[in-house]
């Protein structure tokens, strides 16, 4: 199947095979220019935008970021007359979540879709429930104390 025209180690060039494109077809560079989006208008870009002279591309450390956040968001006056801090990186008490709190298994720490009605312990699966049934008296109260739910009424 070897041809005398294409010998091993030799690459046929344009002089051997003729022109890379036929007469009448556009040159590859013309096709690239035609497909390019470089000269099309970009409505999402502001043509008058310029980088601020004081804005440098240097990375900033945490202290500088927090100071810029404090300067950008001034303190607001609360109803009690005290100065309060607007929500930002430094806010310690975020607003309450709108989502319901997740429940975790008291034994394994995994997500707990079930709750034992007798002991009110939350558990992950039926295997954990079997362990809950074998707990000695008072152990369920210890687990509830760890969770912070106090005493359960039996």
Residues 6+ apart with CB under 8 A from 126: none
pLDDT number for residue 149 = 79
pLDDT number for residue 122 = 93
Convert the pLDDT of each residue in 130-145 to its tens digit: 999 999 988 988 988 8
pLDDT band at 65 (very low <50, low <70, confident <90, very high): confident
Model confidence, pTM: 0.38
Q: Where are the domains of the chain?
A: 59-92, 100-154
Backbone angles phi, psi at 104, to 5 degrees: -120, 150
């Amino acid at each position: 199947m070897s041809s005398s025209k294409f010998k091993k180690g030799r690459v046929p060039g344009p002089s051997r095979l003729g022109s890379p494109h036929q007469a009448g077809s556009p040159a590859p560079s013309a096709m690239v220019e035609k497909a390019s989006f470089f000269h099309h208008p970009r409505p999402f870009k502001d043509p008058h935008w310029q980088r601020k002279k004081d804005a440098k591309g240097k990375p900033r450390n945490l202290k500088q970021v927090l100071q810029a956040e404090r300067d950008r968001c001034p303190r607001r006056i609360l109803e009690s007359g005290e100065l309060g801090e607007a929500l930002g990186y430094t806010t310690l008490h975020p607003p309450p979540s709108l989502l319901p709190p997740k429940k975790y298994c008291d034994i394994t720490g995994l997500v707990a879709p079930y709750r034992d009605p007798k002991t009110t312990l939350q558990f992950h699966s039926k295997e954990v429930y079997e362990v809950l049934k074998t707990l000695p008296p008072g152990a369920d109260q210890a687990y509830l104390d760890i969770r912070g739910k106090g005493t359960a009424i039996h």
